[in-house]
Chains A and B, each alone.
Chain A
Amino acid sequence: MTKYSIFSLARNALTEHRNWTEAWRSPDPKPAYDVIIIGAGGHGLGTAYYLARNHGITNVAVLEKGYLGGGNTGRNTTIVRANYLLEGNEHFYEHSLKLWEGMSQDLNFNVMFSQRGVINLAHSDPQVDAFQRRGNAMILNGSDAVFLNRAEVQARAPLLDCSDGARYPIKGGLLQPRAGTARHDAVAWGYARAADAAGVDIIQNCEVTGIDIEGGRVTSVQTTRGAIKAGKVGTAVAGHTGHVAAMAGLRLPIESHVLQAMVSEPVKPCLDTVITSGAVHCYISQSDKGELVMGGDLDFYNSYAQRGNFPSIEDVVASVISMFPAFGRLRLMRTWGGVMDMSMDGSPIISKTPIDGFYVNGGWCYGGFKATPGSAWVYAHTIAEDRPHALNECFHLSRFARGYTIDEHGSGPTPGAH
């Protein structure tokens, strides 16, 4: 693997960048692996990387039905944050945020992590109270949070309508200064390159069609490129978690829904932070290319289609314009959809299953991207050690039956409501 540096850049410039070596191999599958990860998105590739880096397990394959990073890793709104209230969540996401801070150095790949801060807007007095409480909880759990009053929010986002006449009046906002955005594709590419360098086989265009189980233990997977034996199998397939788990005979507390995101035409820099609103439900930031990146609600019905419908697009755009009236003059350039694995409590499942050697990583709802390094870190631990890491004990599959759900929104077992 060529180390990326200013020197390798200069050296390759001399040959007009024609001699860069490939970032990862495209091997044929071997007959057997110690560990097979299903899904070559950020979580799957990261898991393979940490299996090698932290646990010395390198006889690993990552199987991908399409192309690398072509699922939700390349479809999200790139927001990275750790602004949760509940104990298990905040520890986990803060660990993930710390990994983001060192990711580019660790992977020798620039993931363009930009700690531009994320502001969660408060629109009412009760929200002000709740957000101050959440901010205090975040600080007590070792993370960072600053409560901003209305004038401070306005100073950070001049185009945001903070006037008394605003459709959704702004009372303040909870800022996490260390939060921000990252280049989503680069996360998949960086993990892929680093995992490949450690000996992991990344096999694209290889769809898993069946999972073989003998005597309660996983033995192999059936794929479009033949059967592959495996000591352990882990899923990292986002919206398809329910579908893949069904191949192993498991029913999960998950429904798949479609979530849309969209970008405006590119404009000059006008928003240098991330603005989110839980009450209106939209989130907006500006990409390095100048597009305003926007997202909001689900389409609110089960879907495995990576596209949604117009009412949700209209709802997101209306929300954004109500908060940023100036953006009403922009044209929408592109919209797309991704399949979300909505769990029954809004929190992820990173867990062993009743089948020996079969592991599940899913239920990420709206928020899988920010969790990528943390999820991969604890999932690799769970697979390597066959027991959860301290940070994902709370995300065990059995929590629903035991009554230990982690319901950040308090909205109950209604997947679409989280």
Chain B
Amino acid sequence: MLEIKCPWCGARTQTEFTYAGDATLDRPDAETGSEEDWYEYVYLRDNPRGAHDELWQHSAGCRRYVKVRRDVTTHEIIATGAPGAKLDGGGS
């Protein structure tokens, strides 16, 4: 069972959260983004084998999004923060 530290609620079990995927994607600008930009944003992923920045929604708690840096080879949670936070550790 993963234990995710929500910046607002504290440490909670994973069952309170809903996974929302890769947190490193930048949504292209609606006016100026090219088709290629949108293709990359919608479909392509780095899918690293190691530290992965991702979003989890605390759906059974405060309902806010939490940014999590987690090692996907061990499931160790390295750091958590607000969605806009820059997380450190884990070598990525």
Contact = CB atoms under 8 A, between A and B. Distances in A.
Interface of A: 240, 242-243, 246, 251-256, 300-305, 309-311, 344, 400-401, 413-414, 416
Given A252-B44, A400-B39, A311 B19 contact: no
Given A302-B52, A309-B2, A242 B74 contact: no
Contacts of B14: 309, 311
A141 B14 CA distance: 43
A344 B22 CA distance: 13
A400 B43 contact: yes
B20 to A, nearest CB: 10
A256 B45 CA distance: 10
A262 B86 CA distance: 38
Q: Which of A240, A252, A414 has the largest number of chain B CB atoms within 10 A?
A: A252
A242 B45 contact: yes
8 contacts: A243-B47, A253-B45, A256-B72, A309-B1, A309-B14, A344-B42, A344-B43, A401-B36
Interface of B: 1-2, 14-15, 19, 21-22, 35-36, 39-40, 42-49, 52, 54, 70, 72-75
- What are the 3 closest A-B residue pairs judged by CB atoms, nearest first? A242-B47, A253-B43, A251-B44
A311 B2 CA distance: 10
Nearest to A303: B72
A302 B43 contact: no
Contacts of A242: 45-47
A105 B19 CA distance: 46
B39 A302 contact: no
A303 B39 CA distance: 23
B35 to A, nearest CB: 8
Contacts, number: 71
Contacts of A240: 49
B54 A302 contact: yes
A287 B46 CA distance: 38
A9 B18 CA distance: 55
Nearest to A414: B21
A400 B44 CA distance: 9
A254 B45 CA distance: 6
Contacts of A246: 46-48
A311 B15 contact: yes
Nearest to B76: A305
Contacts of B73: 304-305
A258 to B, nearest CB: 9
Contacts of A254: 45, 47
A201 to B, nearest CB: 27
B54 A301 contact: yes
Contacts of B15: 311
A344 B74 CA distance: 24
A81 B48 CA distance: 32
A305 B1 contact: no
Nearest to A250: B44
B1 A311 contact: yes
A416 B18 CA distance: 11
Contact of A310 (B1, B21, B45, B54): B1
A303 B48 CA distance: 9
A42 B15 CA distance: 35
A302 B45 CA distance: 11
Given A301-B19, A305-B73, A256 B43 contact: no
Contacts of A416: 19, 21
Contacts of B43: 253, 344, 400-401, 413
A223 B54 CA distance: 31
B69 to A, nearest CB: 12
Given A243-B48, A310-B1, 6 more contacts: A242-B47, A255-B21, A303-B75, A305-B72, A401-B36, A401-B39
B45 A251 contact: yes
A399 B21 CA distance: 22
A344 B73 CA distance: 21
Nearest to A416: B19
Contacts of B42: 344, 413
Contacts of B74: 305
A207 B60 CA distance: 42
Given A302-B72, A305-B74, A309-B1, A256 B54 contact: no
A195 B73 CA distance: 32
Contacts of B36: 401
Nearest to B36: A401
